[in-house]
Structure 1
Amino acid sequence: MHFTIFDTPIVRDVFRVLSILLLKLSGWKLKGEFPLLDKYVMIGAPHTSNWDFPITLGLCFASRAKIYWMGKHTLFKGPMGPVMRWLGGIPVTRHQNNSLVQQMVDVYGRSSRLVVAIPPEGTRRAVKEWKTGFYHIAHGARVPIALAYLDYSRKEGGFGPMFMPSGDVERDMPLIRAFYADKVGRYPG
């Protein structure tokens, strides 16, 4: 089952107008613009709430930005599967050791344009250490990392600098995390 009606410019324009309206009514704004590169890994932090997803999608629709995201394979079952794929979802099975990093590196290699959004925490719960899959995907694909955020204290989403991974994860991760020191999730801590 494929929802081709969603692939029309009219439907995208309707979602854009609705997103702009809902973001404005809720007080959310986008700081800056989506990077104008064909390929990059976009990380978003802090990720503390299910609300992060619709706010991020709203910012994307409002900006006419197309991103992809990885989600639990169970989100793609049943009638919502095609909708989730249209929204940019890539189903993944997290409990299998299936070299997800290499699979994504290969997808970047085959793609002329690709932006995949990945929450570095890997969960909505508070974590001390971030997962490093996003880093290894970017390094393996030789693409930069866009440091994106949702800051609930300011009701803004935006971007920091682009970060090109050196391959030295121990050196680079503290530099990446430092950008997020003053960003506040919906549920801090």
Structure 2
Amino acid sequence: MTLVLGPQVPRRGNAFSRWLGRAMLRLMGWRLHGRLPDLPKMVLIGAPHTSNMDGVIALTALTAVGLRAGTMIKDTAFRGVLGVVLRWFGALPVNRRSPKGIVEQTVDVFRSQEQFVLLIAPEGTRSAAAEWKRGFHHVARGAGVPIVPAAIDYVHKRITFGEPLTAGDFDTDMRRLMQFYGRHSAARHPERLSRPVAEALGLPWQPRADED
């Protein structure tokens, strides 16, 4: 595991938390490949997402490198102690009653902060999505920040970070992203792959699969 953050990338934790994260990854047999661009803002997307275990591995990887990444969660979840915990983990509230949509509110967060990495699973479900949700692309375009893909591979037990992509035409960008995921991903439950990733891997896509 050689991934090192540049000085502009937002960070969380300390030497002990990074050591603990690296130790946990080693115990699980996982490695990190690639690099993150040395930029203060980006949209970091993770795929394929077919299991709750994906989140455990992702959180361990973020702790190991000391990356501070945030997710957008409905504001009603931020009550009491749970709100404190969610904010510590980087979650930010979305007001679904606001006249501004989720994309616009997220773009506002990018504009209001000097450093911000947004973490998104664009498949939106663990259960064989037919298409990727376009919110990650709209946010990246609106905020003028790059999209950085991360692929999880359960066969080789590694997470690979790809080259940053400047958001332009959605279909063109999806073809580029699927070239990356077709080379570097392997799902825990292949039968739950989203259709774009399944096609990129040359695997059959099933329209629905049960979750555990």
2:164 aligns to what SS in structure 1?
strand
Contact 1:146–1:160 at 8 Å: present in 2 too? yes
* Alpha-carbon offset, residue 97 of structure 1: 8.0
| SS, match of residue 124 in structure 2 | coil
Structure (1/2) with the larger strand percentage: 1
Q: Is 1:139 aligned to 2:168, yes or no?
A: no
In 2, the alpha carbon distance for the partners of 1:55 and 1:95 equals 33
Residue 162 of structure 2: SS of its match in structure 1? strand
Counterpart pick for 2:26 among 20, 24, 35: 24
- CA 1:74/1:56 → structure 2, altered by over 3 Å: closer, same or farther? farther
Question: Structure 2 length normalisation: TM-score?
Answer: 0.75
Which residue identity lines up with residue 181 of structure 1 in the other structure?
Answer: G
Q: Deviations over 1:133-164 (max 9, x none)?
A: 00000011111100112111111112111110
Note the residue ranges of structure 2 that are not aligned, 5 or more in a row: 1-11, 192-212
Question: Contact 1:12/1:61 (CA < 8 Å) preserved in 2?
Answer: no
2:182 maps to what in 1? 181
* Higher RCO (Cα < 8 Å, 6 or more apart): 1
Verify the 8 A CA contact 1:68 1:89 in the aligned structure 2. yes
- The yes-or-no answer on 1:37 pairing with 2:47 is no
Residue of structure 2 in register with 1:4 after alignment: none
SS state at 1:162 partner: coil
| Alignment size in residue pairs | 179
Tell me the SS of whatever aligns to 1:79.
helix
Relative to the length of structure 1, the TM-score reads 0.84
With 72-81 and 124-133 compared, the bigger mean Cα shift is at 72-81
1:30 CA drift (Å): 0.8
The one-letter amino acid of 2:51's match is S
Structure 2 CA distance, aligned partners of 1:92 and 1:125? 24
Q: Mapping of 1:21-170 within 5 angstroms?
A: 21-71=23-73, 76-92=78-94, 98-166=100-168, 168-170=169-171
- C-alpha displacement at 1:80, in angstroms? 3.0
Please tell me the root mean square deviation across aligned C-alpha atoms, in Å: 2.3
CA 1:188–1:75 in structure 2 vs 1: closer, same or farther (change >3 Å)? farther
1:136–1:64: structure 2 CA closer, same or farther, 3 Å change rule?
Answer: same
Stretch of structure 1 that moved more, 133-142 or 104-113: 104-113
Offset at residue 26 of structure 1 (A): 0.6
- Rate the CA distance shift 1:107–1:96 in 2: closer, same or farther, 3 A: closer
Unpaired runs of 5+ in structure 1? 1-8
Residue identity (%) = 42
Q: Hey, what does 1:171 align to over in structure 2?
A: 172
